[in-house]
Structure 1
Amino acid sequence: MNLRKDQCLLIVTVLSGVTQAEDDYSQYVNVFHGASGGGNRFPGVVAAPFAMVKLGPDVKNGTADAYSGYLPEGNIWGFSMMHESGTGGAPKYGVVSQMPVVGNVSDPLADLSQPRASPDQGGVGYYKSSLASGVTVELSATEHAGFYSYSFPGGNPASVVVDVSHVLPSFRGLGWEQHYSRGDLSIFDDDHYEGSGTYNNGWNLSPDWTIYFCGKFKQQPSYSWTFKGNTSASRTDASPLSVSGTARLGGVFNFDESHVTSIVGISFISSEKACQNLEDDISEEVELRSLVDNAKSRWNDEVLNKVQISSDDPEDLQLLYSSLYGMFLIPSNKTGENPGWESAEPYYDDIFTLWDTHRCHTALFHIIQPQAYEEFIRSLIDTWRHDGFLPDARSSNFNGRVQGGSNADNVLADAFVKGVRGAIDWDDGFAAMQTDAEVVPANNFDPKSPESSTKEGRGALPDWLQYGYITPRFSRAVSRAIEYSTNDWGLYQVAAGLNKTAEANTYFNRSRNWRNHWNPTATSHNQSGFVVPRLANGSFVPQDPATCGGCYWGDAYYEDNSWIYSMNAIHDVAELKERIGGNPRFVDRLNKIFDLGFFNAGNEPSFTTPYLYNFVDGEQWRSVNRSRYISSLYNAWEKGLPGNSDAGAMESNLLWQMIGLYPLTGQTTFLVLAPWFKSMTLDLGDDKKLSITTTGGDRTTAFYVQSLTVNGEPWDKAWVAWDDIFANGGTMDYVIGESPMHWATGKLPPSPASG
């Protein structure tokens, strides 16, 4: 049931009779962009950037994991209020579910799933499923509440099953599946219901966590009853009907009407707070159309209209605005919904994960939504204050799991060097980073990496402190070491900015420790010198740089091989070039990464590699060439991403290609590529803008930079700094053409750890 291009364009331009204004950029959002083909993006309703409620269908299709709940093929078995977006590993959430059923329900725990009569439709703030049973389901939402509109076929009773035990399963057999632990539900005399569900595990191996809910129907049920396991009960008087326990449980509501509307609020605090959220967000008089309009307004004002382009090509517009939308689905802003501690600070959860997003997503998050970005930084620091460590990943209010380094350090450093201050306590921020750098986290005995913590911090820190490298007694030893080096570079940046001279010296030196894994005699495909495993006695482990075993949790490298990780010390590129053998050998190595098939656009460790040509005089054109190749791997449709969205990391990577720049995290440097459009304007807030123009060529065949002017002045460098174009806004005017041109004759990009 893959959507054709014409179907996608239809559903983003006409939604339930809602008219589209000319300046409504939400009309170009294809919510199914990247929702299949491995992109795993959530296509359901997210009423505002980072909204806590993500209301959509849960689909089952054999043993396929439905990471975001959605699959293009299979039966819908519920519509639930919480989902992640674009993640791998294993599904998370799929809780607070309803399922419409034609007729009376005799066994609410039977398979009530339904095929779809036609492909699902959706747009910003709206989702529609047509079930084979004849039921049409339309959804909308607010940040803390959901709206269900059911149209049942006439002539039959209508039922809605509320299944508290509903949770997205995983079939991978890796021990990352979620579990229902217990629940409760009460139906009151006014027919509204309240309750909670408690669940555990999932990809981040979280212990029990609880979500509370409060729901009501606009139509009065003709009959309602609860179930628990194989037992059931119905209300015979005005007292509440309640059920609780560890067995599967829920409620069934029967209606004589063919049209039924359900509204539900959720909260992590209490069912009373869920009821308050429902009352605050959705009155009983609210109609679906107004909720859709509000959602479109929020997305337009807060994200979509921040980027405007000259193109009127429908696919350009759909790819741009669908990518922007996909960037801001998660994390979730759960401010006021933190059950772990009381704080006046903002609180963001569903960070899935900074390992994926720190390379280019967070840098664009900062630019597009600077106020929310400051809140996000404050939330990271506040998590350290109360939980003891910064999260690299966090979901259901629990840190976990760490794939490599402590990459919140990179995110904080990037914000610090770009001047993000506001209400951030940077002394606490640095103390949080130092916890990562100096404190060994308690082992959580993850079966996939039982030797050290995957919950938070740096599990391989004992070796890092003792040897300055990581031995094979720790899994992912080499890839962790490369990331620990960039993490320590982040600590150096903040320490230096806070005038902590001794600490700055320590972390500057430690940021060079990636060099301790460099074996100059390791060879592969006529290249010498690669990062490889190293034993406690100092000897290198024989390792073919072109292989990495399974490239997974138990191996020396995570998700990529030594060819890629050897290029990841982006703060020390001048040293890297020297070790490889100088500029010609460096260019040859970059070329071979592509020619030999080592580059994978769907793996984040590869993200920066294509643009390292900018560190060689006269070779910037090759970065542009690689950029155009990577862009060709994307399209605006359902299978439009070259890998997991990874919480918007993949979309942000494409957006930087459109802009024609690439960020180096933890530095103020942006590598110059070549923008896509004749003109693009980025709204930076506070009446500041970055205007980017191109003349003289075209995006597909004549895209090489011939000359560049920055802020009206001729520019001869293959990079710009934050202060040049972002701190106060600016202009970048390119002349592009068919042939490569040696225009960047000035100073090479900074390599600050190489001095």
Structure 2
Amino acid sequence: MHRSRSLTSALVPVAAAVLAVGVLTAPAGAAPPPPARVTVADPAQYVNAYVGTRQGEPDFGNGGGAGNTFPGASAPLGMVQWSPDTATYQHGGYYYDDQRISGFSLTHISGAGCGDYGTTPFMPVLDGRPTDHTDFRHADETIAPGSYAVAFGNGLRTELAATQRTGIARFTYPAGHTASLTVDAGKAFNDATGSISIGADTLSGWTESGGFCGTGNRYRVYFHAQFDRPFSSAGIVRTGGADAGTVDTARRTATGGSEGVAPQAARTAQDHGTGTGEDQHPAPTRAASGAQALVSFDTGTDRTVTARVGVSFVSADGARANLAAEQGTTAFDPLRDGARATWNDLLGRIAVDGGTTTQRRILYTALYHALLHPSVISDTDGRYPGFDGAIRTARPGHAQYADYSGWDVYRSQVQLLALLDPARAADVAQSVVDQGASAGYLDRWTLANGGTGVMVGDPLPIIAASIHAFGGTDFDAAGLLRIATAGSRDPRQRPGHGPYDTIGYIPSDASGIWGSAATTLEYTSADFALAQLAGRIGDTAAHDTLMHRSANWRNLLNSGSGYLQPRGTDHAWPDFRPAQQDHFVEGSAAQYAWMVPYNHRGLFDAMGGDTAAVARLDGFFAELNGGPDSEHAYLGNEPSANTPWAYAYAGRPDRTQDTVRRALTELFADAPDGEPGNDDLGQMSSWVVWAALGMYPQAPGRSELVLASPLFPGVTVRRGNGAVIEVTAPGASEQARYVHALAVDGAATGRPWLSEEFVRRGGTLAFTLSDAPDPAWGRAPEDAPPSFDVGPARPATGPVVGPDAKCMASGGSQAVNGAAAQLATCDGTAAQQWTTASDGSIRALGRCLDVDGSSVFNGAAVQLWDCNGTGAQQWWPRADGSLLNPPSGRCLDLPGSDTADGSRLQLWDCNGTGAQRWTVPV
């Protein structure tokens, strides 16, 4: 189900007729005209950080139905996210419907489906009395990129701003009260311990926490706070007994701990589950931890107290050094304004012309949320904690990043970062390499440079490979390939890799696996992305091996149902329903049916061709957000994210244009409940940005962009490396979504996609749009976006020559299902003319070389059968001349080396003998 939403409060009228484009045309051979270079003054004004703080769609048990964002102060990819935490908990720390603030903690993660961070809350209080919470009204909040402010009902006012590793606060106290503040080093959203020390005008210490999604990750965050005046009194808040809540002014240090408030549903391969709506908003009492300081100030002449706070994951000295380096003596207002300017520089790299204010707010809010993470973890001197616990140092002039929501952000968030800031994205990729080097493997979901094992697949190699494809190449790509390849044989990185490496899929009866079919498909995407990286750096052997592994999706393809299905160790198909979640992850079989984003051509052919695929997509998108046990789309979670763009591969980009715009306008809004699911460290928001631009990075590890249509009449994308993409679409609006013509660099085209070369160098796009679909534009098969398969790019036809210089033939020259593949004297007839096809099959007489009954056992007969895209029809040439059938791990064999005409071919253990040597056409 979904609630209809509108992107506009007042729609721009659109004529039904096709809208003309009178710009960006050029004579043949002439250079395109210079781009208009649209700019937007102060894009930060359009950011609504409330979006995602209230449930927007039903809670389907995957982290709640809210975006789980926070409204506080953060720099782009910042270490400090100083934000208010409401008394009622929601992942992210802020629940819009609860107007009670319990503290302002220094660290947060935006949009996750589990809770972590929320360390070291600061809370201004009156008259030396700690409090569980203080009431406020949303009307008294001011939120903007880089800053946050609130006036409490008791007359207190808090203002926050942030640099990358530091924060600054102004606490303004009402007259007639003692100005006080609590800082609790023993609190976080999860179980925590901490230590705090009180100086004359400083507070310093550390908070240690962890337990993300119920796992065992741990981290320690150091802090150092410097105040603008000495304390008039200070001490440690007592806990327990009759004097609980009073202050022991004789104590200047304390260590203590507290239980967490975040519900944690396990989401690892070994121990997984789902959350429930019942525990999404717990409201526990938050007693002092034992490491809570209370300090008071003399505000007789100045009722505003300023606090400067540095944070470090290395040491208290690091926190102090970060504070000195990033703030010095700069006052609050310049720091706040500088934070906004930093955001404007990054947000302004996408500038739009036209559109409504609401549309701009949705776009720039999404872009803001998409650029909060990953988070810097290195200090200003480059030091950071490695995965092995050792203190390491980033490359001079570069930063180290942490907090990778890998399973989510590999799909389009890191690509957006790399599009806008390839240099910073390269540091993110190098951080992936460094994580693998220090840990010995690549984790799936990393927090504060520690592994959690949360979710499934092998996403970090995809992240680095995709960044490289988008131009973020300043990292050790060869090292990444080496680490990722070694890690693919490590169960910490790839649970279930044993059967995947041998039979080409993870069986449904394998132990310790969450979602055997889903995990198999995730691994194939990782293999594909790594293959692309290997090809880019010239490692052709690794490229070819990984490309073959990327075809393992065919081993789950049931030609009878047309679905990618779970499969047992015995290669049998268990009972199956398209709506089942069994053996899938946070989604159904129907939603994972499309998860071959790099080879839609092969997938659609296996489904019966473009017409059949389009019909299935139409039924799939009859509902946009049906939840994880639906046969329809679930666009409130990641597995369905790429599917709206799949129509373009089947010759119906008009359906992509419609589905993307429907999802954008019906599921997302400029409101606290404006997201249909968890933002997942910017992944959901990145989808919104791409959808508004009308382009999407469909294939992992590559930078082609599949096109829908832009929401705005004009868009300028500045890539941060000098390249500019300029888009014009006169009359574009919520309804005018259909492409009738497109010119790329002044030349008309029917291709609904942009090449990697265009993305690299930039250029111009000129759309002609209408509110009526044009099924003809982009329909030609040759105009479809590229798919990538394992066979030769150019199919070759000729004899397959085997032992005794005889040829493989169809028995009796029959062009029927079940005709035996046999050896015969070469005669040049059609029955001996085989085509090595791009999908890895070998074809003759209109059919494919096939293993009878998809058997995987020695002696299985080989025959001709209707081409169906399954693994039973995959034949991969090897260096020794054999032809490998990957699902079985066996080779095409001549029984007993009998070269008599009519000898029927079979599967057999690969043994390197002459009975398994074949020469195929090239």
Distance verdict in 2 for CA 1:204–1:628, change over 3 Å:
same
What SS does structure 2 have at the residue aligned with 1:438?
coil
Q: How does 1:559-708 map to 2 (within 5 A)?
A: 559-595=586-622, 597=626, 598-617=632-651, 619-632=652-665, 633-664=667-698, 665-695=700-730, 697-708=731-742
What SS does structure 2 have at the residue aligned with 1:471?
coil
Cα distance in 2 for partners of 1:323, 1:337 equals 31
Alignment match of 2:749 (pick from 689, 709, 715) = 715
- Give the structure 1 partner of residue 33 of structure 2: none
Cα distance in 2 for partners of 1:146, 1:668 equals 36
Alignment match of 1:378 (pick from 427, 430, 441) = 430
Matched, 1:55 2:82: yes
Matched, 1:535 2:568: yes
Alignment match of 1:39 (pick from 37, 55, 67) = 67
Matched, 1:478 2:482: no
Distance verdict in 2 for CA 1:215–1:515, change over 3 Å:
same
Alignment match of 2:135 (pick from 115, 125, 132) = 115
CA deviations 1:532-575 (Å, max 9, x no partner) are 21111111111111222xxxxxx411111111111111122122
Cα distance in 1 for partners of 2:128, 2:482 equals 60
Matched, 1:315 2:336: no
CA shift for structure 1 position 700: 2.7
- Give the structure 1 partner of residue 765 of structure 2: 732
Cα distance in 1 for partners of 2:307, 2:732 equals 51
Pick which of 111-120 and 588-597 moved more. Answer: 111-120
Matched, 1:287 2:312: no
CA shift for structure 1 position 349: 4.2
Letter in 1 for 2:296: N
CA deviations 1:359-380 (Å, max 9, x no partner) are 1111111111111111111111
Q: 1:139·1:147 contact (CA, 8 Å) conserved in 2?
A: yes
Pick which of 489-498 and 385-394 moved more. Answer: 489-498
Distance verdict in 2 for CA 1:32–1:350, change over 3 Å:
farther
Tell me the TM-score normalized by structure 1: 0.86
- Give the structure 1 partner of residue 309 of structure 2: 264
Distance verdict in 2 for CA 1:379–1:223, change over 3 Å:
same
What SS does structure 2 have at the residue aligned with 1:55?
strand
Cα distance in 2 for partners of 1:208, 1:748 equals 47
What SS does structure 2 have at the residue aligned with 1:137?
strand
CA deviations 1:166-224 (Å, max 9, x no partner) are 212xxxxxxxxx2113x222222x33222112223122724432111111321332111
What SS does structure 2 have at the residue aligned with 1:625?
helix
Q: 2:456·2:519 contact (CA, 8 Å) conserved in 1?
A: yes
Letter in 1 for 2:360: L
Q: 2:422·2:721 contact (CA, 8 Å) conserved in 1?
A: no
Distance verdict in 2 for CA 1:207–1:568, change over 3 Å:
closer
CA shift for structure 1 position 668: 3.4
CA shift for structure 1 position 347: 5.0
Cα distance in 2 for partners of 1:349, 1:66 equals 22
User: Which structure would you say has the larger Rg?
Assistant: 2
What SS does structure 1 have at the residue aligned with 2:51?
coil
Q: 2:116·2:212 contact (CA, 8 Å) conserved in 1?
A: yes
- Give the structure 1 partner of residue 323 of structure 2: 278
Cα distance in 2 for partners of 1:92, 1:324 equals 23
Cα distance in 1 for partners of 2:442, 2:637 equals 24
Cα distance in 2 for partners of 1:506, 1:691 equals 38
- Give the structure 1 partner of residue 192 of structure 2: 180
Distance verdict in 2 for CA 1:117–1:484, change over 3 Å:
closer
Distance verdict in 2 for CA 1:486–1:260, change over 3 Å:
same
- Give the structure 2 partner of residue 147 of structure 1: 168
Cα distance in 2 for partners of 1:518, 1:142 equals 50
Cα distance in 1 for partners of 2:225, 2:470 equals 45
Q: 2:106·2:118 contact (CA, 8 Å) conserved in 1?
A: yes
Distance verdict in 2 for CA 1:431–1:22, change over 3 Å:
closer
- Give the structure 2 partner of residue 248 of structure 1: 290
Matched, 1:387 2:439: yes
What SS does structure 2 have at the residue aligned with 1:203?
helix
Cα distance in 1 for partners of 2:341, 2:672 equals 24
- Give the structure 2 partner of residue 344 of structure 1: 394
Q: 2:236·2:292 contact (CA, 8 Å) conserved in 1?
A: yes
Cα distance in 2 for partners of 1:576, 1:136 equals 58
Letter in 2 for 1:343: T
CA deviations 1:48-70 (Å, max 9, x no partner) are 21111100111122xx4343445
CA shift for structure 1 position 329: 0.8
Q: 1:267·1:337 contact (CA, 8 Å) conserved in 2?
A: no
Cα distance in 2 for partners of 1:409, 1:564 equals 23
CA shift for structure 1 position 352: 4.2
- Give the structure 2 partner of residue 13 of structure 1: none
Matched, 1:515 2:554: yes
Alignment match of 2:788 (pick from 731, 752, 755) = 752
Matched, 1:92 2:116: yes
Cα distance in 2 for partners of 1:430, 1:673 equals 33
CA shift for structure 1 position 481: 0.7
Unaligned runs of 5+ in 1: 9-20, 169-177, 442-456, 522-527, 549-554
Cα distance in 2 for partners of 1:233, 1:642 equals 45
Q: 2:186·2:255 contact (CA, 8 Å) conserved in 1?
A: no
What SS does structure 2 have at the residue aligned with 1:122?
strand
CA shift for structure 1 position 606: 0.5
CA shift for structure 1 position 103: 1.4
Cα distance in 1 for partners of 2:755, 2:314 equals 44
What SS does structure 1 have at the residue aligned with 2:488?
helix
Cα distance in 1 for partners of 2:124, 2:703 equals 53
Alignment match of 1:198 (pick from 200, 208, 215) = 208
Cα distance in 2 for partners of 1:590, 1:575 equals 16
Distance verdict in 2 for CA 1:219–1:498, change over 3 Å:
closer
Q: 1:437·1:488 contact (CA, 8 Å) conserved in 2?
A: no
Q: 1:380·1:391 contact (CA, 8 Å) conserved in 2?
A: no
- Give the structure 2 partner of residue 399 of structure 1: 451
Distance verdict in 2 for CA 1:132–1:417, change over 3 Å:
closer
What SS does structure 2 have at the residue aligned with 1:244?
strand
Matched, 1:67 2:92: yes
Tell me the TM-score normalized by structure 2: 0.71
Cα distance in 1 for partners of 2:359, 2:83 equals 27
Cα distance in 1 for partners of 2:471, 2:73 equals 34
Matched, 1:506 2:545: yes
CA deviations 1:409-464 (Å, max 9, x no partner) are 22222233445423x122101112202322222xxxxxxxxxxxxxxx11121221
Q: How does 1:402-551 map to 2 (within 5 A)?
A: 402-422=454-474, 424-441=475-492, 457-472=493-508, 473=510, 474-521=513-560, 528-548=561-581
Q: 2:92·2:112 contact (CA, 8 Å) conserved in 1?
A: yes
Distance verdict in 2 for CA 1:561–1:466, change over 3 Å:
same
Pick which of 222-231 and 531-540 moved more. Answer: 222-231
CA shift for structure 1 position 687: 2.8
Cα distance in 1 for partners of 2:727, 2:401 equals 34
- Give the structure 2 partner of residue 77 of structure 1: 102
What SS does structure 2 have at the residue aligned with 1:338?
strand
Report how many aligned residue pairs link the two structures.
682
Letter in 2 for 1:471: P
Letter in 1 for 2:85: D
